[in-house]
Amino acid sequence: MNMKIYEEITARIIGMLEQGVVPWKRPWNGAESHPKNLVSGKEYRGVNVWMLSCSGYVNPYWLTFNQARELGGSVRKGEKGTPVVFWNFMEVADKKGEGSELKTIPLLRKYTVFNVEQCDNIDHKRLKELREKASEPPRQVNKIEECEKVVAGYANKPEIINGKARACYSPSMDVIHMPDQDRFVGDEEYYSVLFHEMGHSTGHSSRLGRELLGSFGTQSYSKEELVAEMTAAFLCGVAGITPKVEDNQAAYIASWLKRLKDDPKLVVSAAGQAQKASDYILGTTQAEVEKQEEVAAGA
């Protein structure tokens, strides 16, 4: 079951939390800063986003040891890589079935990547293009308009009703309740909270069909909350806004530390489901998803 990989990734996330850094609350400035593979230009997905965006490097581009060598460069001596994971699917014989039936099982695989800032002597047209792009003035966007585009683009979305006492999603009614926008500290906080509830709504049976009925404190409830938190973070990143900061950050961190220590698979699994949820909201097609999947392998 590749538990060592789950444990390694979870240990890194726990380390960040113990230092007061909540990976999925760490903003990046729109698509330009989303972690990407240098050679393919594809964006990393799922839990890899948190692993790489919280690494401390400004440059969003990463590559494997072999990719650096193929580009005529090298990883600087003493530099430590960052693990990224992806799912590989294998067909095996189904012992419960009759005859020679096959079933497909997912296998979690790990690769190590390095930021371009950790490498020397990389001479490649892709890097030249990126340097030229970096010298261009940043693209000016209206962040609230970008948020509104995310909401408007959510096909098959539930009804969103403002003017309520608190923000919540009702699975039985398939409706999102939100306080009026002027009750929030700012517009960005309003959309950050709305994105969280939109994340929950993707679990409805008419959409992605996750378990949404777990009671407070249960494992299923904790996982769904993390899925919604991470979905909101992905959508905030797309719109270029900052995720909502918790009122009691210390208690928030402490609660997630306990949950992650109790379940090493939680963060990887929740991040994968959050990626699917944000893909659904953004209307990302399966073909577009498949083009990204091998990014961790340096495709």
Mean pLDDT score, 208-235: 85
Residue 298: pLDDT band (50, 70, 90) is very low
pLDDT > 80? residue 217: no
Specify the DSSP class assigned to residue 139: P
Supply angle C-alpha 34, 35, 39, rounded to 5: 120
Return the closest-CA partner of residue 38 out of 71, 69, 61: 61
pLDDT > 70? residue 294: no
Residue 195: pLDDT band (50, 70, 90) is very high
Mean pLDDT score, 23-28: 80
Mean pLDDT score, 178-187: 96
What per-residue confidence (pLDDT) applies to 47? 94
Positive or negative: CA dihedral 32, 37, 41, 44: negative
Q: Which domain holds residue 131?
A: 3-297
- What predicted TM-score, i.e. pTM, was given to this entire model? 0.86
pLDDT > 80? residue 164: yes
Return the closest-CA partner of residue 274 out of 233, 219, 217, 220: 233
- Please give the residue that has the higher pLDDT: either 137 or 90: 90
Which residue spans within the chain are E strands per DSSP?
Answer: 36-37, 61-64, 74-75, 82-93, 102-115, 119-120, 159-161, 168-170, 175-177
Return the closest-CA partner of residue 164 out of 152, 151, 173: 173
Mean pLDDT score, 181-209: 96
- Buried b vs exposed e over 25-64: b needs ≥16 C-beta within 10 Å? bbbbbbeeebbbbbbbebebbbbbbbbbbbbebeebbbbb
Q: What is the mean pLDDT of the chain?
A: 86
Report the share of the chain in percent with pLDDT over 90. 62
DSSP element (H, E) containing 75: strand 74-75
Residue 137: pLDDT band (50, 70, 90) is low
What per-residue confidence (pLDDT) applies to 212? 84
Residue 2: pLDDT band (50, 70, 90) is confident
Mean pLDDT score, 181-186: 95
Paired tokens of 148 = 């509104």
Which residue spans within 130-222 are E strands per DSSP?
Answer: 159-161, 168-170, 175-177
pLDDT tens digits for range 33-83 = 889 999 888 899 999 999 999 988 988 899 999 999 998 899 999 999 999
Contact 122, 67 (CB under 8 A): no
Return the closest-CA partner of residue 236 out of 137, 172, 151: 151
DSSP element (H, E) containing 64: strand 61-64
pLDDT > 80? residue 279: yes
Mean pLDDT score, 122-147: 70
263, exposed or middle or buried, with CB in 10 Å at 0-12, 13-18, 19+? middle
Return the closest-CA partner of residue 116 out of 36, 50, 34, 183: 36
Positive or negative: CA dihedral 216, 220, 225, 228: negative
Comparing 146-155, 204-213, 230-239, 281-290, the range with the smallest average pLDDT is 281-290
Residue 96: pLDDT band (50, 70, 90) is low
Which residues make beta-bridge pairs with 88?
107
Domain count, the chain: 1
Contact 230, 267 (CB under 8 A): no
Dihedral Cα 275, 210, 174, 26, nearest 10 deg: -30
Paired tokens of 78 = 């003493």
Contact 246, 256 (CB under 8 A): no
Contact 204, 237 (CB under 8 A): no
